[in-house]
Amino acid sequence: MSTLVVIGYDDIHKAQEMRIHLLKLQRDYLIDLEDAVVVERDAKGKIKLHQMIPMTAMGAMQGGFWGTLIGCLFFAPIFGMAVGAAGGAISGALADVGINDDFMKELGETLTPGKSALCVLIKQMTEDKVLDDLHGTGGKVLKTNLSKEDESKLQEALGTARKAVSETATAAV
């Protein structure tokens, strides 16, 4: 079973940075991500979903390849590529893999303008190493299907730096 974690950030760009960080952890085989989407609500209140895999582009590319191949068989490769790419783009746009887009759009409605959230679907991870690596990165756990104990461990790891910074600022005054 996959684990869903949604972390909210006060900055529009912080969720993008965290997704890049998680992709580096995936490259190091510490976490296996099924999906990682950044939900952003800009200053005007418009909600944008930044998918890890752009399905429309992938569909267009695959459709263009198959359309060209089939078009070559019928002596019309350019026409075949155009039709295949259009069909692939449409099917890619309609495909929804990973985290449900409607869920993320509803989540985006709850964000205040200028904030973002990172929605991550995790297949598996090396929990202790990932949590150690996430220490102090900030953010607030908004939704998850983790146990209460695991959720509090994650929130503690995310919030460690925030507490340390605020304590240092208080001590300096």
Its domain, for residue 43, covers 3-52+99-172
Same domain, 25 and 105: yes
- How many CB atoms are located within 10 Å of the residue 83 CB? 18
Q: Per residue, what are the HEC states of 4-29?
A: EEEEEECCCCHHHHHHHHHHHHHHCC
Helix segments in 3-116, DSSP class H: 14-27, 55-73, 77-94, 101-110
- Distant-in-sequence, close-in-space partners of 61: CB < 8 Å, separation ≥ 6: 85, 88
32 & 65 share domain? no
Q: How many domains does the chain have?
A: 2
Q: Per-residue pLDDT tens for 151-165?
A: 888 888 887 544 443
Shared domain for 8 and 43, answered yes or no, is yes
Mean pLDDT throughout 27-37? 90
User: Does residue 134 register a pLDDT over 50?
Assistant: yes
Q: Are 81 and 64 contacting, i.e. CB atoms less than 8 angstroms apart?
A: yes
Domain check: are 133 and 167 in the same one?
Answer: yes
Which domain-ending residue is among 44, 64, 94? 94
pTM beyond cutoff 0.75 = no
Q: Is the domain of 105 the same as that of 162?
A: yes
Whether residues 47 and 59 share a domain: the answer is no
**Do 141 and 154 share a structural domain?**
yes
pLDDT digits over 61-117, tens only? 666 666 666 766 676 667 666 666 666 656 555 455 567 888 888 988 999 999 999
Provide the pairing of β-strand 115-125 with 3-9: antiparallel
